[in-house]
Amino acid sequence: MVVEHALLTVEAGREEGFQEVFGKAREVLAEADGFRWAELLRCAEQSEVCLLLVGWESVEAHTAGFRESERFRRWRALVGPFFTEPPAVRHFHELGARFSG
């Protein structure tokens, strides 16, 4: 499994609207082949910055499977109007089990 790390910058003043629309966008993500889970976090210091973490079966499940699909176009139509710049996306491989204290 890999984790997509997407840094999203939302237009100032539209953070709450983005959060509401993301609920619908999350449903579109959940339909994708290879999707495992998603988590959206808001930056404590800059409320217009969000971190989207998505678990995928593989990098290809995200890049070729989802991003080249009609689902991606639906997802982008929902959330894209809120972005002030293209998301910065990277993929990370898990190196071990999650630690919790």
Summarize pLDDT for 49-99 with one digit per residue, the tens: 999 999 999 999 999 999 999 999 999 999 999 999 999 999 999 898 878
Q: Which of 66, 87, 60, 43 is CA-nearest to residue 2?
A: 60
Q: Is residue 38 part of a domain?
A: yes
Work out the pLDDT band at 101, boundaries 50, 70, 90: confident
Structural domains counted in the chain: 1
- pLDDT recorded at residue 98: 79
Is 63 among the domain residues? yes
Is 89 part of a structural domain of the chain? Answer: no
Residue-number span of the structural domain to which 67 is assigned: 13-45+59-84
**Residue 74 has what pLDDT?**
97
In a domain, 90, yes or no: no
Asked if 50 and 5 count as a contact pair (C-beta separation under 8 A), the reply is no
